[in-house]
Amino acid sequence: MSTFEVTPHTDDSGTTYLKVSGALDLAAAPQLIQEVKESQVLRLDLSEVDFMDSTGLGALITVRNGAREKNEELELLAISRAVERVLELSGLTDVFGTSHE
């Protein structure tokens, strides 16, 4: 597993998103929640997440619920196989409307 990072990026159309990489686990989950809260960016690229556990899933749910309270939506731009596996096992693939990369 690699070091967890959250890095802001802007695509060619000017849309800002957060690139998340490394292990999204117990140690990293609070950081993800804080980064999203501070940046107020609700687009996440999870294509470089190489591990995610239940606390990582909990962080995504927390971010999604926080967005919905503000009548906004969390958008997962791309997900890794590790994220896809946890979403499938938990039955939440449709909830997050994910795309695999």
Residue 18 lies in a domain: no
How far is Cα 14 from Cα 43, in angstroms, rounded to an integer?
13
Residue 17 lies in a domain: no
**Model pLDDT for residues 11-20, shown as the tens digit of each residue:** 999 999 999 9
Residue 75 lies in a domain: yes
Amino acid at 23: A
Residue 88 lies in a domain: yes
Residue 56 lies in a domain: yes
**Model pLDDT for residues 27-57, shown as the tens digit of each residue:** 999 999 999 999 999 999 999 999 999 999 9
How far is Cα 101 from Cα 99, in angstroms, rounded to an integer?
7
Domain carrying residue 88:
5-12+25-96
- pLDDT band per the 50, 70, 90 thresholds, residue 1: low
**Domain containing 70 — which CATH number?**
3.30.750.24
Number of domains in the chain: 1
Confirm if 37 and 66 have CB atoms less than 8 A apart.
Answer: yes
